[in-house]
Structure 1
Amino acid sequence: MNTLPVPVYTLEQDEFMSNGQFKVYHFEGDFPDRSELLIPHRKDHYLIAFIRKAGSRQWIDMNSFELKEHTVYFFGPHQVIVKEEIKQLWSTGIAFTKEFLSLHGNSALLQLPLIVNPYNGYALELTATDIIFIEELLQKIIAEYRQKGDWQQRMLSAYLTVLLTYLSRLYTAQYKGDELSNEQQLLKRFQAKIDEFYQQYHEVNDYASMLNISAGHLSDVIKSQSGKPAIKHIHDRLIMEARRLLFHTDHPLKDISFHLGFSDTSYFNRFFKRETGLTPAAYRDQTRAIYP
């Protein structure tokens, strides 16, 4: 059940970093590797890309967009990515794993808005001041990345802390800068648990136990904060993943059903139709029509 039908790309080691937890990409001109074009995939790591010039089109889950110049894009694990076309690309990318963020006592970075991404964003617009700051910081990261030594990882971790903190400030300003109440924080923790365990657990009671509260209290808070029942959040996450797999892969329905924790394919079909109004097969046929 834990085997993901969509290919998952890990960080490959290079001459500068051998632990597979941090990597710097820098492209100018034509994209050097076109093997990923039109291949749906996920990454097992985070990626932040500063785009200076681009003429490419991509998909994140079922949403397509054109890369814009002077913009920072950020992607997390589990999202399904498709690179539809790449004409010109001038960018610097910083890729890192969850484990790297936990090095040297920096596990608090996992709670930054950019990493948690409560509003499911993927782009940050930059002012001229932002561009100067980020450019200078990226140059320091690139220089340190190419300089092996005992202090390399500590320095990269320090620079990454500054970068993520700065971008998180932009995130809160561009998406929503309000402080979260205790109830809102519970909603985010509930959603995070669903993201982690939606394959194994489909009931509110299971998540209430993980959060050490009663199912009734959890249901009341989630309904008041989101406007929909707690069980609906679980169902929506299952439907999102089902849509990703139906849209991006040709895997049989029984395999998708099993991957999502359903032991009975017929029950999965009824569940999907109840939630979307279409059978899984009909949804796959309908959405495939959007491809040119």
Structure 2
Amino acid sequence: MTDNIGAGIAIERISFHDLRTLDNSTLDSFEESKLAHREDRHSFFLLENGIVHMEIDFQKYEIKSPSVVYMHPDQVHRMIGFENITISSWALNNENLNPGHLQLLEDIAPAKPLVLNAATFSIISEAVSLCIKFSERKKDKLYHLFLIDSCNALVALVASQYLELAESTGTLSRFELIAKCFKSALERDFITVKRPAAYAQSLNISTPYLNECVKNATGYSVSYHIQQRIVLEAKRLLYHSDKSVKEISAELGYEDYSYFSKLFTKTTGMTPLTFRHKNLD
């Protein structure tokens, strides 16, 4: 996305009908989007028409309109293909996000593509159109402020839809509440905290009870979730960076490189280097 003001914020609407109709510059941009990458900001994609095929954190999705996709800066993703699409997109870095909105986004990440009903899609699409008009008024003295405020309103609209989806499942049980608190702590501390007992202590409960709650709510143990989160981050770094496996191991809090390599292999069924070569090919 083109940065509208050179300060970590962007918004635009684009339409692609067929690869054969794209000019060289747009075709080059599309080819770049097919490579695994991360954005340097929180990104939102409103699919207004058509179908998009994407891979997000190594899971493939077929996204049909009308849908919205929220992408956290940590997430690795790539475009696989599209069919007759119109996409509106906007992106803000942490500095331009309302602090309350930023916390909401951290809580819902990683988020899956979300299908919108007709009424909600209409409101968000109209709001995007207005924000795009704002983005074109670069000579206005308060341009920066009203562009940030309008894009934050879009963020709130989308975040509210994810929250509504979460609430539609009904009141959370005691097990689900504790599992949610554990997953928030895991997202924050997985690099430095690896032991289930440490998470239980931070939540002021026993380790067996934490395990019972998490397993009841998710079907998997605390140790499983810890390992999966570490391996996901390892996959992102293997896929997106040129760091060595030893460097990635250290970055994820493992001084023992061989232990990390065995953990990755046990979890994924392949060595870190095999995963890197398989996906880069």
Taking only aligned residues, the RMSD between alpha carbons, in angstroms, comes to 3.6
For residues 1-292 of structure 1, what are the structure 2 equivalents within 5 Å?
A: 13-14=3-4, 17-20=5-8, 22-29=9-16, 30=22, 32=26, 33-34=29-30, 36-54=32-50, 56-85=52-81, 89-102=85-98, 107-112=99-104, 116-117=107-108, 120-147=110-137, 148-150=140-142, 153=145, 156-157=148-149, 160-161=152-153, 164-165=156-157, 168-169=160-161, 172-173=164-165, 176-181=168-173, 183-208=175-200, 211=202, 213-214=204-205, 216=207, 218-246=210-238, 251-284=243-276, 287-288=278-279
Query: How many aligned positions are there?
Result: 269
TM superposition score normalised by structure 1: 0.73
Sequence identity (%): 23
Secondary structure at the residue paired with 2:32? coil
Range 175-184 or range 59-68, more displaced: 175-184
Unaligned runs of 5+ in 2: 17-21
Shift of residue 194, structure 1, vs aligned partner: 2.2
Unaligned runs of 5+ in 1: 1-10
Verify the 8 A CA contact 1:208 1:215 in the aligned structure 2.
Answer: yes
Q: Distance in 2 between matches of 1:192 and 1:12?
A: 32
Verify the 8 A CA contact 1:262 1:268 in the aligned structure 2.
Answer: yes
Secondary structure at the residue paired with 1:143? helix
Range 137-146 or range 148-157, more displaced: 148-157
Verify the 8 A CA contact 1:137 1:159 in the aligned structure 2.
Answer: no
Q: Distance in 2 between matches of 1:215 and 1:77?
A: 34
Shift of residue 167, structure 1, vs aligned partner: 5.4
CA separation of 1:182 and 1:280: change in aligned 2, threshold 3 A: same
One-letter amino acid of the structure 2 residue matched with residue 72 of structure 1: V
Secondary structure at the residue paired with 1:23? strand
Verify the 8 A CA contact 1:53 1:89 in the aligned structure 2.
Answer: yes
Match of 2:19 in 1: none
